Structure 1
Amino acid sequence: MLRPPLRARRERGETEVKKRRQTQEDSGKTGIFPIMAESNDMEQLLAAFKKFAIHGDTKATGKELNGKNWAKLCKDCKIIDGKNVTGTDVDIVFSKVKQKMSRVITYEEFQRALEELAPKRFKGQSKQEALQSIFRLVEGREPTNVGVTKQIPHVPPRHATPPGLQAADGPFSWSATSASDEDFWRCIFSGQQRDLLNIQVC
């Protein structure tokens, strides 16, 4: 049996390669490959889910997310923007994706909830682009603890020598470098306390 010329075999091989490449590109465009696979780091999305799932509950396993923490996730991750997505929208989606008698959602239901909110949060983007955008809001995030740390002014130890005071053979002597310095120490130590501590304000 005669084999076709080398040039013909080479051209036929190139044609087959082009066909395979075209098939792969068409598959990606038509959604044969899952949209979820397009996320750069789905592990970060899962990590964020687990961190919010155990927030405020020492007995939580990290496998289920309750409604309170779901709402916190949407707020902390800026899914709720007060314009396109509100707290009411978040509650409605939670009720939609969870099981009928359940009060929590699984990771898979959590992903469906994000898919529901994505087009609403990112209007003008395609469904796939909006989903990736909302994933990026959540990936790698963790609950924020809202609160103001109260700053307590530093008060020198009882037997410490305050700034501006110099130990002498007798009582401490101190010359105020400014009126505010003098006022400060007069406020902290009363006349009786200054006598007890043997402090003199010059």
Structure 2
Amino acid sequence: MNAGFDRIGLGRFAGIGERLARGATIASVSFGRILLWLLAALIVSSCVWMLMPLSKGNTAQGELVDPGSASAEPAPSANPAAAAAPSEAQAPVVAELDRLRISSQTWRRGGLGSKALVTFTLRNDNDYAIRDVEIVCAFARRDGSHLTERSRVLADTVSMKSRKTFARVPVGFVNVNADQAKCSLVTARRA
């Protein structure tokens, strides 16, 4: 099938278009290969960087120490009770867990079956409100063998002498073989 461009003098433009298309294809393939090599070099260099041993520095335990804070020691206070007060004020007040319990719990899968969504009711029998409740959920197979544990901190407040239901709390990714879940309380703070 002949378009007949040579009769009206457009044959040379058709040849130029074919050459340009061929050159653009070669350039795009070359550019793709360059990007592929750069990606491979990036992956190899990041793997080498991750496998390099960490520098320990001058500390015995390998912790980083600020040079200014290592030499400066706090001046002794004339009142020892005043010196102890800031450390007590900064320490979090932990609630008693014996009067705090999970009264009911269920779980289901979400996120295409890879995430665990836990629903539970938390009872607070203390004389004060609590907040920042940390729970840990242990997942097991049908036969009871342990698979994994996931923890979560809930920032909500539970009033004194009350209960609160937390519905479909995302705990984290779980194994596809997980069939059972058991959640328990780890810590809580006074509100």
| Structure possessing the higher radius of gyration over alpha carbons | 1
> TM-score by structure 2 length?
0.20
Between Structure 1 and Structure 2, the one with more strand by share is: 2
> Structure 1 or 2: larger helix share?
1
TM-score norm. by structure 1 comes to 0.19
